[in-house]
Every structure is written in C-alpha cells, then in structure tokens.
Amino acid sequence: MHVFVTGATGWVGAAVVDELLAHGHEVTGLARSAAKASVLAAKGVRPVIGSLEDPALLAEAAREADAVAHLAFNHDFSRFAESAQEDRAAIEALGAALAGTRKPLLITAGLARLAPGRVAVEADRPIADPSYPRRSEQAAQALLDAGVRVATVRLSPSVHGVGERHGFVPILIDIARQTGVSAYIGDGENRWPAVHVSDAGRLYRLALESDLHEPAYHAADEEGVRFRDIAQAIGDKLGLPVEARGPEHFGWFAGFAGGDMPASSAVTRDRLGWTPTGPSLLSDIRHPDYYAG
C-alpha cells in the first residue's frame, strides 16, 4: 500500500512512517522544508515539500496514493484558531481528492475534550465546544456522510516516549522548572489517558490496513493516569516539591492540567487486534533522558 502521510516528520507522524515502512508499505511524506525532506528521503520516503496551506498540493499527493494518514497540525497556541481552520481545510481537500475512490483517509483528533469527567468510548461523538475551535472530526463526519472512507484516530493527551520535546508532559516539566514546584490542581485525582508513541504508530498502521471499518479509534494504552502521580514523578526527577496549586499556576494550560478525561480503547483493541506493548507514562517520566535538552 502506498500511503501519503502529512506531519511525517512530527513526533507521532515519524512513528507512523517508521511503522509503515517496517511492514513493507510505500510512503510519501509531507515536509515543510528541504531539511525535513532530507530526513524523510534518508528513511526511504518520497518527500513532498509543502504545507497544509496548499490544498492543491495535498489533493495531488492524495490522488497518487492508496491511502492517506493526516497527522499534521500547527500547535502554536498563539494562533490556534487559525491552525484549526487550516486543519479543517486540509481535511476537506484530502477528502475531495479521494471522493468516489474508496481509498481510506485517516485523520487525527484528541481525547482531551471528548467526554470530560467520564470514560470516553469510541462511540462518543465530539462536542462542539466554542472555546475549542478544532473541528477535525466534524470535517471527517461531513466526508463520511458524502461517501468518503474516513475515520479518526483520537490521540491521548500524552503520547509519550523518551525523546518527546513538545507534548503535554514536556509542557508540565517546563512549568515545574520555571515555578520551582511540580503542581496539580485540587486533589490531583483527575485522570489523563496515555499511550506510548510506538503503540500509537502501530495503531495507525493497523487502522489503515483494516480499511477503516470503525469511525473512530482510541490511542489509549492507559485509561487514566492520576495527574497527581504525574506531578509526583516529575517532582521526584527534578528534585522539586509536589503541591496543589490553583489553575492560574498553569496559565493557558490549566484546562488540560485540571481536566478529568479517562478513555477506553476496548473497541479499538477488539477491532484492530491492537495490543500496546510500550512503557507506561510514569515509567517514561521517571527516565532521566526525558529531561534532556
């Protein structure tokens, strides 16, 4: 199978590319620069230099492939609304290119705001929260209604692994270093689902090979890790006190730091035969290399 992957040099995208290549698939990857294109070429990936801002380029690459995995997203939170709109336009362009072909399109969303306060399941539909402008799943649903073979991988708030530099855990590490305390909100009993990056990469590959018989898959190895335990692991490694703080301690990140968002992946495991094997979130956080750089 020839798969076009957007976000092919990103944290999760690179794991997806490696997983596809390891199982004999051909990969074309979107790269924003010549330097990133060289990284892909060294792996045996055919690079396409461009960005989500070029829908014609995305459509052309999608038409040439047998399947598409869309993982690219600009996580600059200072322009999150604009990034969300770019993402939606990219999904629409990819879907339009695949319309009538039955080629699978796998898009990416998150579990963080799916079902706050209870265990989210694959059958849950996304909530249109006005304060959170990302509409990846809504765009995918519109394509599904139009006959495109499309599904969503919902990533855990923490897709972890040694080498992670820009995810939620590195954000918490930075806040702890800057403030001198590894904090949690309230009693810290709120839960985060988590998945190792290698397990997430394998899930994308299995989903594409399955022809997307489910509308959504959950990349969640651990249903919910207590936030206080996450803070404790970070505090232990940095030698900092672990204490409760108000939401203002976390700034713009408070909604995620205080969110209770456990998630089940029972349907995903059953339908895809997906069995996570990577290290747990807490064991990764306790690894000294997580704090390098």
pLDDT at position 130 = 66
pLDDT beyond 70 at 78 = no
pLDDT at position 86 = 86
How many angstroms separate the CA atoms of 185 and 106, rounded? 35
How many angstroms separate the CA atoms of 202 and 204, rounded? 5
Q: Which of 25, 6, 107 is nearest to 66 (CA)?
A: 25
In sequence order, what DSSP letters do the residues of 157-198 get, joined into one string? SEEE-TT--SSHHHHHHHHHHHHTSEEESTTS--EEEEEEHH
Of the candidate CATH numbers 3.90.25, 3.30.70, 3.40.50, 1.10.10, the domain formed by 162-194+223-263+279-291 belongs to: 3.90.25
How many angstroms separate the CA atoms of 282 and 228, rounded? 11
What phi, psi does 6 have (nearest 5°)?
-90, 155
Both tokens of 51, joined, read 């960005």
CA distances from residue 8 to 16, 37, 67, 80, 126 in whole angstroms, order as listed: 8, 9, 14, 20, 25
What does the radius of gyration of the chain's CA atoms come to, in whole angstroms?
19
Least confident of 14-18, 50-54, 244-248, 277-281: 50-54
How many angstroms separate the CA atoms of 191 and 223, rounded? 8
Query: Regarding beta strands 191-196 and 222-226, do their DSSP bridges make them parallel or antiparallel, or are they unpaired?
Result: antiparallel
Domain ranges of the chain: 2-157+195-221, 162-194+223-263+279-291
pTM assigned to the model: 0.94
In 3-state terms the chain splits into helix, strand, coil percentages (rounded to 5) of: 45, 20, 35
Which CATH fold topology does 2-157+195-221 show?
A: Rossmann fold (3.40.50)
pLDDT at position 3 = 98
Query: Regarding beta strands 158-160 and 222-226, do their DSSP bridges make them parallel or antiparallel, or are they unpaired?
Result: unpaired
Q: What is the pLDDT of residues 198-216, one digit of tens each?
A: 999 999 999 999 988 899 9
Per-residue pLDDT band for 24 (boundaries 50, 70, 90) equals: very high
Query: Mean pLDDT of all residues in the chain?
Result: 92
pLDDT beyond 80 at 127 = no
How many angstroms separate the CA atoms of 159 and 195, rounded? 5
- Which residue has better confidence, 293 or 236? 236
pLDDT at position 73 = 81
